[in-house]
Amino acid sequence: MTKIKFGTIGGGVMGEALLSRLIAQKVYLPSEILVSDPQPQRREFLTETYGIGTTASNLEVATAT
């Protein structure tokens, strides 16, 4: 398992803009990013689009980074 190096609470417009640039600029690998979002559809979209990890738990993001 890859260590999480970047996490964000919220995968909305701002969170997606941030993580997409971090991946595009090769600052972090998708496997090093974890995002929390309460909406299952949004988590699924982010995982499928960017290959990142997602969770419904803000605490999980906070403790993983």
Domain spans, the chain: 6-64
Closest CA to 36 of 62, 14, 10: 10
Percentage of residues in the chain having pLDDT higher than 70: 98
Phi-psi region of 35 (alpha: psi -120 to 50; beta: other; left: phi over 0): beta
pTM assigned to the model: 0.93
21 pLDDT tier (thresholds 50, 70, 90) = very high
- Domain 6-64 fold is Rossmann fold (3.40.50)
2 pLDDT tier (thresholds 50, 70, 90) = confident
Structure tokens at 30: 């998708």
Q: What is the mean pLDDT of residues 34-59?
A: 98
Closest CA to 54 of 2, 5, 8, 13: 8
Q: What is the mean pLDDT of residues 25-46?
A: 98
1 pLDDT tier (thresholds 50, 70, 90) = low
Q: What one-character DSSP code corresponds to residue 25?
A: T
